[in-house]
Every structure is written in structure tokens, then in C-alpha cells.
Amino acid sequence: MRRYVSQMASVSSRARKTPTNLSLRADLVQRAKSLKINLSSVVESALESEIRTREQAAWLSENRDAIRAYNDRVRREEVFGDRIRRF
């Protein structure tokens, strides 16, 4: 089972930036400019969030069988100390 670790938050502040062309609705760009919204940071945050969501989904999909097998084993055999714990 591969561990899922998201490192985007720690890397994002020092990551190299690359110029990118995006096509956005003109009305949204105008409204963002009038509100002094930094489009680059908004798009970067949204992209990080979407990447994180898809990576987590991929990890769960890749590890679904192992997680199911582990949960079945715990149901069947219990975990260490289940019989003696008092909570």
C-alpha cells in the first residue's frame, strides 16, 4: 500500500513560476480586477485543491483492496488490546 502525502502547501511558496495563458470569461476578469483580486494566486489555489482532490481519489482507488482487507481482518481478529481496554 502506497502512502499518500501531499507536499504542495510546503512547496508552493518557493516553487518556480511559469508564465501560462488561460482563457477566462471577460466579465469575471473585470470583476476580479475591480476587487484587486490576484488571479494567479486564485488560480494556483484552485489548481492545488483540484490536484489534491484527484490525487486522494487515485490513492483511495489504488489502495481500496488493501484497506478493505485490513478492515476485514480487524473485524475478524480485532486489534491488539481490544479485550482488555476499558474505554
Task: Write out the three cell numbers for 78.
Answer: 480485532
Coil vs helix vs strand at 81? coil
Residue 68 pLDDT greater than 60, yes or no: yes
Local structure of residue 22 (DSSP, 8 states): -
Domain assignment of residue 64, given as a range: 49-77
**Distance between CA 25 and CA 73 in Å, rounded?**
52
Summary mean pLDDT of the chain: 87
**Distance between CA 36 and CA 31 in Å, rounded?**
9
Is residue 59 in some structural domain? yes
Is residue 72 in some structural domain? yes
Task: Write out the three cell numbers for 74.
Answer: 480487524
Q: CA 31 from chain center: how many Å? A: 28
Q: How confident is the model at residue 77 (pLDDT cuts 50, 70, 90)?
A: confident
| Count of domains observed in the chain | 1
Residue 24 pLDDT greater than 60, yes or no: yes
Residue 74 pLDDT greater than 70, yes or no: yes
pLDDT tens, 26-41? 999 999 999 999 999 9
